């Protein structure tokens, strides 16, 4: 090839190369422009959506204002007493021409005078009343409140008294956890969801319906726990499931697995063990489990599948809110099992102010559980598990 032809060839090649580079850069620029445009478009809210959001917010504010306006002072006081769990028999009311006098006896074991005062003050102020004065006597046994209602032009004189005569009965709180949810849905799940909202659902992670159960249980007002499967005595003949915490696992493997459970069931507020009669005996195995629970601000309930368990004690030593199972409701002799469990609960209630019981989500157990709940006496109060493990701080 002559020198002239070579120069011409290189010139054409360079020109074509520059064109190719230009086209490539132009193509990349167009693609980037489209990506940015689509991202911004997805974040934008249409005018109609903005109007709907604004209207919804305004309607909500108007609705709240209407509800507060409807709440008169007398109703506000009644609402406060309901929040403070004061039965009608501990309230005496006397009416005068422009005065209403109330004597209220509170259960000083669970509610303080200070909390009672704050609760009543907050609600009556929302109802438009003026709190004229609040005075506590020298020995701290009662508080006197004077409240003026500008709507009715009446003055309320309220005396809140500590229960010094032990008129309130001794109440035992009972929390019932139902284990093993996640393997069924449909009608049977709906029947369990219809139980008292204070009953807690414990869900096996990795189950076909675990996420569905969590969503529906929380929507129905039930608290949920992660039912962490752990190696039991007799393993592998006794099988806790494919994703269980096993004795052969390292600390990192245990933490990784428990972390995956938390990510799968993010709305659970605590955890308890499924099986685990071996794992819960060994500190080096239960501690990594509890460290993940602590990291996510959850609490732990030791199901006590063995009397040798150290899980509850270990959790307490780590300052993790924890509870310990007192009774399984579906173990023992099959004949008259409900009567047996009822008698055990009554015996426990004589010496304990808090009881944790565990049952399982079987069809036959559902009917037995309904019967047991109908038999509970007035001095045994069904509560969600959090109320025992993380009690409300009423007393100040």
Average pLDDT, the chain: 87
pTM above 0.75, yes or no: no
User: Which tokens go with 383?
Assistant: 């509560």
Residue position matching structure tokens 């819960």 = 280
Cβ neighbours around 249 below 10 Å, total:
17
Pairing of strands 130-136, 142-149: antiparallel
CA-wise closest residue to 206 among 175, 239, 235, 244: 244
Residue position matching structure tokens 């697995």 = 257
Task: Tell me how many degrees the CA angle 248-306-359 measures, rounded to the nearest 5.
Answer: 110
In the chain, domain spans: 73-162, 172-389
The pLDDT score that the predictor gives to residue 40 is: 59
Q: In the chain, which ranges are continuous DSSP H helix?
A: 3-43, 47-70, 73-83, 113-126, 186-193, 210-219, 251-264, 283-295, 311-317, 337-351, 363-375, 385-389
Q: Are 136 and 180 in contact (CB under 8 A)?
A: no
Give the Cα separation of 21 and 2 in Å (integer): 29
Report which DSSP code applies to 89: G
Taking domain 172-389, whether its CATH number is 3.20.20.370 is answered by yes
User: Which tokens go with 296?
Assistant: 């996510």
- State in words which class domain 73-162 has: alpha beta
Per-residue pLDDT tens over the stretch 245-292: 999 999 999 999 999 999 999 999 999 999 999 999 999 999 999 999
Q: How far is CA 181 from CA 150, 215, 274, 356, in A?
A: 54, 12, 11, 18
Cβ neighbours around 100 below 10 Å, total:
19
Residues of the chain with pLDDT under 50: 3-10, 12-13, 43-69, 394-396
The pLDDT score that the predictor gives to residue 1 is: 52
The pLDDT score that the predictor gives to residue 168 is: 86
The pLDDT score that the predictor gives to residue 64 is: 44
**Side-chain-side CA neighbours of residue 338 (13 Å):** 13
Per-residue pLDDT tens over the stretch 115-138: 999 999 999 999 999 999 999 999
Give the Cα separation of 263 and 181 in Å (integer): 17
The pLDDT score that the predictor gives to residue 346 is: 96
The pLDDT score that the predictor gives to residue 61 is: 44
User: Which tokens go with 45?
Assistant: 């809210």
């Amino acid at each position: 090839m002559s020198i002239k032809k070579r120069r011409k060839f290189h010139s054409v090649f360079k020109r074509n190369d520059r064109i190719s580079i230009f086209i490539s850069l132009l193509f990349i620029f167009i693609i980037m422009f489209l990506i940015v445009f689509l991202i911004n478009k997805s974040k934008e809210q249409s005018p109609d959506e903005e109007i709907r959001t604004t209207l919804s917010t305004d309607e909500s504010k108007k609705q709240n204002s209407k509800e507060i306006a409807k709440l008169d002072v007398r109703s506000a006081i009644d609402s406060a007493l309901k929040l403070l769990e004061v039965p009608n028999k501990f309230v005496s009311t006397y009416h005068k021409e422009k005065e209403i006098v109330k004597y209220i006896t509170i259960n000083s074991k669970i509610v303080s005078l200070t909390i009672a005062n704050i609760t009543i003050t907050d609600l009556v102020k929302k109802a438009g009343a003026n709190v004229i004065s609040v005075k506590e006597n020298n020995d701290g046994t009662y508080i006197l409140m004077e409240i003026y209602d500008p709507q009715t032009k009446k003055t309320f004189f309220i005396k809140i008294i500590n229960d010094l005569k032990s008129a309130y009965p001794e109440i035992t709180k009972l929390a019932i956890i139902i284990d093993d949810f996640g393997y069924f849905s449909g009608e049977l799940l709906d029947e369990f969801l219809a139980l008292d909202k204070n009953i807690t659902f414990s869900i096996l992670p990795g189950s076909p319906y675990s996420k569905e159960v969590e969503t529906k249980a929380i929507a129905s007002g039930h608290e949920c726990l992660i039912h962490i499967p752990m190696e039991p005595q007799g393993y592998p003949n006794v099988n806790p499931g494919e994703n269980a915490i096993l004795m052969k696992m390292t600390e990192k493997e245990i933490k990784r697995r428990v972390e995956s459970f938390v990510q799968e069931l993010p709305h659970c507020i605590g955890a308890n063990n499924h099986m685990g009669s071996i794992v819960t005996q060994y500190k080096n195995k239960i501690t990594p489990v509890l460290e993940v629970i602590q990291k996510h601000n959850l609490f732990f309930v030791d199901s006590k599948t063995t009397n040798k368990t150290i899980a509850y004690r270990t959790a307490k030593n780590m300052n993790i809110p924890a509870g310990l199972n007192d009774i399984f409701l579906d173990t023992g002799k099959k004949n008259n099992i409900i009567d047996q469990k009822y008698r055990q609960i009554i015996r426990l209630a004589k010496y304990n102010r808090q009881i944790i019981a565990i049952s399982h989500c079987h069809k036959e157990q559902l009917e037995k559980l309904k019967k047991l709940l109908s038999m509970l006496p007035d001095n045994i109060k069904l509560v969600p598990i959090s109320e025992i493990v993380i009690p409300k701080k009423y007393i100040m």
